Amino acid sequence: FKKHQILLLPGDGIGPEVTVPVRELVSEINRSESGSQGKFQIELLEGLIGGAATDATGKPLPKETLEMADSCDAVLLAAVGGPKYDLLPYELRPERALLGIREHLGAFANLRPARLFPELVDASTLKPEVISDLDLMVVRELTGGIYFGKPRGIVEENGIRRGINTETYTEPEIERVARVAFDLARKRSHRVTSVDKANVLESSVLWREVVIRVHKDYPDVTLDHMYVDNAAMQLVRKPKQFDVIVTGNLFGDILSDEASQLTGSIGMLASASIGGKTGLYEPIHGSAPDIAGKNIANPMAMILSLALLLRYSLNREDLAQRIERSVSSVLAQGFRTADIAQVKGQVLGTREMGEKIIREYSRV
């Protein structure tokens, strides 16, 4: 039998800290699967990305990292970036590496599920009745839009500098991500909200037109459209009106951070970037320089990203659910990290929370 290979990219800031529990959880998965039929085993490889890669090699996205990613079954990335690298030119920034690996893998559909663990209903800043049972999915286009559009750059004319970015979408780019959203809606509550700015932007006019066309193949799914400013407001006003939100790269980035707060903390939200040959999995949070090195970061978004990897890339829905149940039951026992701590509950550090979840995994 062949071991499934996963490329683990710890990156910067809290990245290496939230990676520790994942290594241990993979060992536990291997241990508990070793007796089962079919011999499911995972081999973790590690690579460099972001500031950590720049420090070691001079480049944020070394060729070796992309080669390893190509030969693996999936990639699990923690986070990149930090103040130390903020003044580097664009091509050398850690964030550029993130865009680079997404583009290289062709991971055009970024699924960002925002589900509220019932135990955390008091951890959100929103009222319990507004968020209880919340379960929505943001499908963010990930390899196009203003993040990649050309022309871009900073130019100088007559002594005046101009920063340029271009929002651009082609019909095929819109169509393929719309299909991902409609297909997902079929496995959920059959509702898609397409978010755009079609009252101002031509790229959004085309977006809306193509989404409406693709929808003709999905008569069993309800489609509506919302301008992004309204969507941002509706997300906090009445978030349960949403099932699947499909939107472009920049709007999806912003709305998914907003959605994370409905679930208690950005430290809870995982993501799956699919559509390419190899899936890429990452928490939606960043490297959190403000809390790095203190063993207080919430490792759950990273652990839940491993669950998504098992679900979408390794076809092990059972193991994905087992991880999700373990997280759920540790929360039910009252354990919290600082970001989701309420009056009640015992606050654990990153490592200790990881250990609890792994112990739970070995029992459930």
Contact region for ligand NAD (CB under 6 A) — 33-41, 102-110, 230-238, 290-298?
290-298
Catalytic, out of 169, 197, 243, 312: 197
Catalytic residue check, 253: yes
Token code pair at residue 254: 């912003």
Q: Which is nearer to ligand IPM, 149 or 349 (CB)?
A: 149
Among 133, 156, 157, 290, binds ligand NAD (CB under 6 A): 290
138 near ligand NAD (CB under 6 A) = no
Which region among 2-10, 29-37, 249-257, 334-342 touches Mn ion (by CB under 5 A)?
249-257
| Smallest distance, ligand IPM to C-beta of residue 147, A | 7
Token pair for 63: 């060729």
Euclidean distance between CA atoms 116 and 201, whole angstroms: 33
* 167 binds ligand IPM, rule: CB under 6 A: no
Cα dihedral 125, 130, 132, 134 sign: negative
Question: Considering the complex, what minimum distance in angstroms separates the CB of residue 291 from ligand IPM?
Answer: 17
Q: Give min distance, CB of 9 to ligand NAD, in A.
A: 10
Stretch that binds ligand IPM, among 42-50, 94-102, 126-134, 159-167 (CB under 6 A): 94-102
From 22, 29, 68, 80, residue interacting with ligand NAD (rule: CB under 6 A) = 80
Is 183 designated active site?
Answer: no
**115 carries a ligand binding annotation:** no
Q: Is 197 a catalytic residue?
A: yes
Among 286, 310, 311, 326, binds ligand NAD (CB under 6 A): 286
Q: Is 292 annotated as a binding residue?
A: yes
Return the residue of 195, 223, 297, 307 that touches ligand NAD, per CB under 6 A: 297
229 has catalytic annotation = yes
Residue 109 or 266: the one with the smaller Cβ distance to ligand NAD is 266
The binding site for Mg(2+) consists of: 229, 253, 257
Could you list the residues that contact ligand NAD (CB under 6 A)?
14, 79-82, 95, 98, 266-267, 282, 285-291, 297-298, 301, 339
* Residues annotated as catalytic (active site), given as ranges: 147, 197, 229, 253, 257
